[in-house]
């Protein structure tokens, strides 16, 4: 696993693509990730709640190798055990997952640990517990995660970004048209699912997003 100082990490989180095979049609996660990397994604997150642990480990090793060949970050969603098993760069933890402080104790000082936040209190707590970056949102309405809360909007995103000293990655309803607004509000990067995974041409969609965020 590898970490970085906040400014370097922010660059590596600029365009963060999350897998979701429910949106991928007939394409495999490997195909989607390969296309995203070719298109300019700087970070890939494996999100595969529907797979068994054994399946997640097998897929995680494959995607980790792909990402590392491109010199990109590879993060595992939720599953600390899978992140450890595949030697991912880190893990992203939601509000109902293992506390960041415990994950930091288990993974050590060099791992990249992301935490979800919807307000300043959550963001500051995650930073204090040792989070490397924050996933903040949903910024805009999104149908990707039915259990997501109401959109927080650009003003709260900006408030959260000002309140912490670690990178903020915005998520939720982000596309090539609104990505510049998100960065202007203070986010270090954008995280997308449907904008790439569900796109007819994931590589071209990632290229368009990369241009939108200045890559």
The one-character DSSP state at 76 is E
Q: Determine contact, residues 135/157, Cβ cutoff 8 Å.
A: no
Q: Determine contact, residues 83/54, Cβ cutoff 8 Å.
A: no
The verdict on whether 21 is a catalytic residue reads no
The verdict on whether 145 is a catalytic residue reads yes
Query: How many angstroms separate the CA atoms of 79 and 44, rounded?
Result: 15
Catalytic residue from among 27, 61, 145, 156: 145
Other residues' Cβ atoms within 10 Å of the Cβ of residue 190: 28
| Ramachandran bin of 25, using left for φ above 0, alpha for ψ from -120 to 50, beta for the remaining angles | left
The verdict on whether 49 is a catalytic residue reads no
Q: Which runs of consecutive H residues, i.e. helices, occur in 40-119? A: 53-69, 80-86, 100-107
Please name the residue that has the structure tokens 């039915």: 146
List Cα–Cα distances, 172 to 28, 62, 90, 115, 143, in angstroms.
Answer: 23, 27, 21, 15, 9
Catalytic residue from among 72, 116, 176, 203: 116
Query: How many angstroms separate the CA atoms of 36 and 30, rounded?
Result: 10
Catalytic residue from among 34, 47, 72, 79: 47
Residues with active-site annotation: 47, 116, 145
């Amino acid at each position: 696993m590898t970490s970085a100082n906040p400014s370097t990490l922010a660059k590596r989180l600029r365009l963060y693509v999350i897998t979701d095979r429910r949106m991928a049609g007939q394409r495999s996660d490997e195909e989607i990730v390969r296309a995203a990397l070719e298109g300019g994604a700087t970070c890939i997150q494996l999100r595969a709640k529907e797979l068994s642990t054994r399946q997640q480990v097998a897929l995680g090793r494959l995607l980790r190798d792909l990402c590392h060949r491109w010199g990109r970050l590879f993060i595992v969603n939720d599953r600390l055990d899978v992140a450890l098993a595949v030697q991912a760069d880190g893990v992203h933890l939601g509000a109902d997952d293992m506390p960041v402080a415990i994950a930091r104790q288990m993974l050590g000082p060099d791992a990249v640990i992301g935490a979800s936040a919807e307000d300043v209190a959550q963001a500051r707590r995650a930073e204090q517990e040792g989070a490397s970056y924050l996933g903040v949102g949903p910024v805009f309405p999104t149908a990707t995660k039915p259990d997501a809360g109401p959109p927080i909007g650009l003003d709260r995103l900006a408030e959260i970004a000002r309140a912490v000293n670690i990178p903020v990655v915005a998520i939720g309803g982000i596309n090539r048209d609104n990505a510049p607004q998100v960065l202007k509000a203070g986010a270090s990067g954008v995280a997308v699912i449907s904008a790439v995974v569900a796109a007819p041409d994931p590589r071209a969609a990632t290229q368009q997003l990369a241009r939108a965020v200045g890559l």
